[in-house]
Structure 1
């Protein structure tokens, strides 16, 4: 090994002395889809190219699987118990997240397996965009039932406008991920993913602004000294879930925008702290603030509210 290293070093010195730099060999793909790269010390034996750029932690992935699974399970139990079937969307996105972190375990053991890497990345990247649709539908229903009105954002526009934008961002990110899996279109795929993430981020920020407006209007609809209705606590879920999604989206844009293996992309701690944790908090938030709990008696409350003059912008 030492002799081989000296021979390689000598050849490098000769190349540098002549003013030429040896080109780095292009990675190749093995028969099982593993990305291989030539070893500069042994041009006949390729080594596995680590697509992550670091050694992914298997224990952290296992912890993520357990915590996500527990949060999704508890939320699903509440959804079934209270028959809030629209919340099954959150269950679906949560299951996808669990699968993503479960796939990260074998992917960490085979960091050069391209297909496994892409599938793992997409299963973690896409679900939060789907989870956000719960917030759109919830705010729309609150606006409709309580009589809150806006000159532009009616309950229907609030629901479908943000939903269509969100779904568009989802497919952009999915398409970008597909392109990244094909040779020669990695850069194009990355650009499309970044564009989809920016669309999602803008959507989340704009929706949070609308939620703030609705929260203020809802407070104004209460009489002085009147006890805060239980359904008002849903605003806490909307605000906090959007905050988590915004934090996560900013991180993802900063991760993908500089290019493959950016400083953030090479930091597993940043991934778990700025992506996995905020999304996990989002799922946990909807357990104590589940609509089945916070919207009990909602129809009775809004009957009193609708007798008051409607709030207009």
Structure 2
């Protein structure tokens, strides 16, 4: 990584002095910044509208991190030799999807409660505790690695260690997402196999049968699964990218970066906006978390039907 760059250098005349070997494309990064800005407004509006506070916080923070990262990429166009601008892009874009994952993790216990806890090997709250703990671990590793990488200009060995720690955090995130998808698939399989069985008396699922049978809820489950898979693919790509270092062919392939990093996260957060949990849960986001019977005193009119609002 460069320390002092000769005067009048450009990416063409001094490519080996630059941190990366290309200038980020202007139009694509501006377009992504606009897309994420729209998604930020959409998720903020939907979160307030349907009071899905916990879901909203993770998604909004994740999208904001994406915006900071792409702003950093635009800064790299003006100064491709400044490692600090690279970090402004690298760290937020590395951390942001973990915040999106946190919001996704919060939904599984609610989905299980609505579909029937008797279909699950674990109690619904256990999934939340387990995967939020995994997500925090991944975030801590990635944040600590990013902090160490920020001092790499003065201490290259520290920078290399920092990148390795960030890579470990991403690898842990990949493992967590794989486990999440596996456990969710098992619950779905058990629920489908036992779909004809009567819900046990007193099971919280009998309170949410009206939600469970709606098209909005089924579409949300599909959208959530696709979003999780997209983040999973993106995380595998970032592990491979960091493993090769900044001078690797993979790290300098901008078209691949724009697709596997930016586009996948735009699609994931876009699906979560279009098929938002607010309408899908019929306003029962909190009730599904606590497995308490919805309060019929608070209702919300959606598409001509009255749904419980908590």
Q: RMSD value over aligned CA atoms? A: 2.9
Q: Which SS does the other structure have where 2:18 is aligned?
A: coil
Deviations 1:117-162 (A, max 9, x none): 2122111111101110111111112223443247753222210111
Q: Which SS does the other structure have where 1:263 is aligned?
A: coil
What's the counterpart of residue 114 of structure 1? 83
Q: Which SS does the other structure have where 2:247 is aligned?
A: coil
Which runs of structure 1 show a deviation greater than 6 angstroms over 4 or more consecutive aligned residues?
Answer: none
How many matched pairs?
266
Is the CA contact (8 Å cut-off) linking 2:112 and 2:120 kept in structure 1?
no
- Tell me how far 1:278 sits from its aligned partner: 0.7
Q: Which moved more, 1:143-152 or 1:177-186?
A: 143-152
- Tell me how far 1:27 sits from its aligned partner: 3.3
What's the counterpart of residue 242 of structure 1? 228
- Tell me how far 1:98 sits from its aligned partner: 1.1
What's the counterpart of residue 99 of structure 1? 68
- Tell me how far 1:254 sits from its aligned partner: 1.0
How far apart are the structure 1 equivalents of 2:6 and 2:150? 17
Structure 2 unaligned runs (5+)?
9-13, 198-208, 294-310
Instruction: Please give the TM-score of this superposition, normalised by the length of structure 1.
Output: 0.77
Q: Which of 90, 93, 96 is the matching residue for 1:127?
A: 96
What's the counterpart of residue 232 of structure 1? 218
How far apart are the structure 2 equivalents of 1:97 and 1:244? 15
In structure 2, do the counterparts of structure 1 residues 74 and 199 end up closer, same or farther at CA, with 3 Å as the change threshold? same
- Tell me how far 1:237 sits from its aligned partner: 2.5
What's the counterpart of residue 38 of structure 2? 70
In structure 2, do the counterparts of structure 1 residues 179 and 295 end up closer, same or farther at CA, with 3 Å as the change threshold? same
Q: Which SS does the other structure have where 1:28 is aligned?
A: coil
How far apart are the structure 1 equivalents of 2:16 and 2:243? 26
Is the CA contact (8 Å cut-off) linking 1:37 and 1:47 kept in structure 2?
no
Residues 204-223 of structure 1 mapped to structure 2, 5 A cutoff: 204-220=177-193, 222-223=195-196
In structure 2, do the counterparts of structure 1 residues 27 and 127 end up closer, same or farther at CA, with 3 Å as the change threshold? closer
What's the counterpart of residue 20 of structure 1? none
Is the CA contact (8 Å cut-off) linking 1:148 and 1:218 kept in structure 2?
no
In structure 2, do the counterparts of structure 1 residues 105 and 38 end up closer, same or farther at CA, with 3 Å as the change threshold? closer
Is the CA contact (8 Å cut-off) linking 1:211 and 1:239 kept in structure 2?
no
Is the CA contact (8 Å cut-off) linking 1:100 and 1:124 kept in structure 2?
yes
**Structure 2 residue 58 is the aligned partner of structure 1 residue 89:** yes
The structure whose Rg is larger is 1
Q: Which of 17, 24, 31 is the matching residue for 1:56?
A: 24
What's the counterpart of residue 188 of structure 1? 161
